[in-house]
A and B are shown apart, each in its own frame.
Chain A
Amino acid sequence: MHLSPDDIIFWDYGFLKLNATIVYTWMLMLVLAGGSKMVTRKLSVAMKRSRWQNFLEIVVLVINKQIEEAGLRRAHVYLGFLGTLFLFVAAASLFTIIPGYEAPTGSLSTTTALAICVFIAVPMYGIKERGISLYLRSYLKPTPLMLPFNIMGELSRTLALAVRLFGNMMSGTMILAILLSISPFIFPVIMSALGLLTGMVQAYIFSILATVYIAAATKREG
């Protein structure tokens, strides 16, 4: 029994290895990017448009609206990063309905990579929006004494992001595996459906937390 898809290794050469996490991530990338390209190849600007275009427009607009509601005024600047976070985590959970597939987000390596991306993106957007001095000064608020706590807070929330997503996704897979071994088929199906819901919730939580962190970093003090 594998605790993480990292353990399923298809090929390795020294420290280079091709495990299930990377392979399934590529598969997700292929589906997301390929599907997007297929749909956006013939976009209509008229009132009449295809169902897929309608669906994708709804997805984009909903994400955009969520980012705006979280406090980021120029949502389209952050749409690429935050939207991709949500779509990647959501698609990774959604594809668990395919037999043999294991969600890459069930790997702590993946969630750590995503958390690191957020960890880097937050100061990057903060500096870009407010300037480096203003951004760095925010670590001294409300008093310089808070600097170590602020830095610890940055690190711990990044760790929390990674572990939360990993824990939730991994637990779903683990529970499913355990139930399969001790109970008939019907119950794991229900748990699998519940896992889908959990995955969607986690995708939302992960992306909305990242949004809030970026919003806090880019917030101009009035």
Chain B
Amino acid sequence: MLIDWFTVVAQTVNFLVLVWLLKRFFYRPILNAIDARERRIAAELAEADAKKMAGDKERDEFQRKTHELEQQCAAILSKALEEAQAERQRLIDAAHEDAARWRSKWEETWNREYQALSDTLTRKTCAEILATARKVLSDLGSTALEAHIVDVFIRRLRESDADLRLQVASTPMDWTIRSAFDLSLEQKKNIEQALGANLGSDKPLRFVIEPSLIAGIELVVKGQKIAWTIADYLTSLERDLEVLLKNQAVAEHESQPKPET
């Protein structure tokens, strides 16, 4: 017989005891441990979720604040840029104004200096021309020219104004004949005769050599004079040149454009 019923009963009991033992020492503790761990994990997950939610909330708040801050920064930056642009424009305008003013001043100064230099040059040129002319005429001075000069002087004496002649004749002082060159005796005699004939005077004459007269001769009596000298022509020419330069300068100054403001 393959089945021993005592063994069957014993094995049934053994199996039921084993079921009880394993439930007691195996399944229940293991399942309890697993459940406890699952509860713990669930609690940790819930805590993590709560922290995550709190973190999300804080992150959202942070993002919102960051966004607001960025907007404020952008607004401030925009305002600052506008102000900087306005300030820049103002400074550029001021700089333009300053530059225009300085340019105007500079041009004015330059023009003035140019004018002064031009005037100086003109004057020097004129003086040089005159000096050259004087020198040329002095150098050209010769006996024949001096004789001509004396003749011209005598003719001028004759043709001089009657009042002037009367005024000169009535002067009690000595008469002085000044000449740029040494007069010969004949020339002195001709002059004395001419004076006697035209002014009716026989006063003694005093002859003086005056090189500055430049090929000329003159009679000087108490502030009055009858003369013919090249120096007079040159002086007259110089006066005319000065008047001309002055008029030209005035005309140039008036023709300059006004600086922009």
Which residues of A line the B interface, CB within 8 A? 3-4, 6, 15-17, 19, 21-22, 25-26, 28-29, 32-33, 36-37, 40, 43-47, 53, 56-57, 60-61, 76, 79-81, 83-84, 87-88, 104, 107-110, 112-114, 116-117, 166
A57–B30 CB distance below 8 A: yes
Chain B: residues with CB nearer than 8 A to chain A? 2-12, 14-19, 21-23, 25-27, 29-34, 36-37, 40
Name the distance in Å between A69's Cβ and chain B's nearest Cβ.
Answer: 18
The reply to whether A117 and B25 contact each other, CB–CB distance below 8 Å, is: no
Which residue of chain B has the shortest Cβ distance to A16 in the bound complex?
B6
User: Which of A6, A28, A43, A57 contacts B7 (CB under 8 A)?
Assistant: A6
Q: For B22, what are the chain A residues with a Cβ–Cβ distance below 8 Å?
A: 32-33, 36, 80, 83-84, 87
B21 with A45: CB separation less than 8 A:
no
Contact A76 B31 (CB under 8 A): yes
A111 and chain B: residue at smallest CB distance: B11
A141 to B7 CA separation, bound complex (whole angstroms): 36
**Cα A88 to Cα B16 with chains together (Å):** 11
Q: Are A84 and B6 in contact (CB under 8 A)?
A: no
Check if A84 sits within 8 Å of B33, measured CB to CB.
no
**B30, A4: Cβ atoms under 8 Å?**
no
A32 to B23, CA, bound (A): 11
Separation of A81 and B22 alpha carbons in the complex (Å): 9
Is there an interface contact between B27 and A79, defined as CB atoms closer than 8 Å? yes
Q: Which residues of A contact B14 (CB under 8 A)?
A: 22, 25-26, 29, 113
Other A-B pairs beyond A32-B22, A80-B23, 16, CB < 8 Å: A6-B2, A16-B6, A19-B7, A21-B7, A33-B21, A36-B22, A36-B25, A40-B26, A40-B30, A46-B37, A88-B18, A107-B4, A113-B8, A113-B11, A113-B14, A117-B12
Report whether B33 and A57 are in contact in the complex, using a CB–CB cutoff of 8 Å.
yes
Contacts of B34 in A (CB 8 A): 57, 60-61
A113 touches B15 (CB 8 A): yes
The CA of A17 and the CA of B4, in the complex, are separated in Å by 10
- Please tell me if the beta carbons of B6 and A17 are within 8 angstroms of each other in the complex: yes
B21 to chain A, nearest CB (A): 4
Contacts of A110 in B (CB 8 A): 7-8, 11
Which chain B residues border A17 with CB–CB below 8 Å?
Answer: 4, 6-7
Residues of chain A with a CB closer than 8 A to B27's CB: 60, 76, 79-80, 83
Question: Known: A81-B19, A84-B15, A117-B12. Is A45-B36 also a contact (CB below 8 A)?
Answer: yes
28 contacts between A and B (CB under 8 A): A4-B2, A6-B4, A6-B7, A21-B11, A22-B11, A29-B14, A32-B18, A32-B21, A36-B21, A36-B25, A40-B33, A43-B32, A45-B33, A46-B37, A57-B34, A60-B26, A80-B22, A84-B15, A84-B22, A107-B4, A107-B11, A109-B3, A109-B4, A113-B10, A113-B15, A114-B11, A114-B15, A117-B16
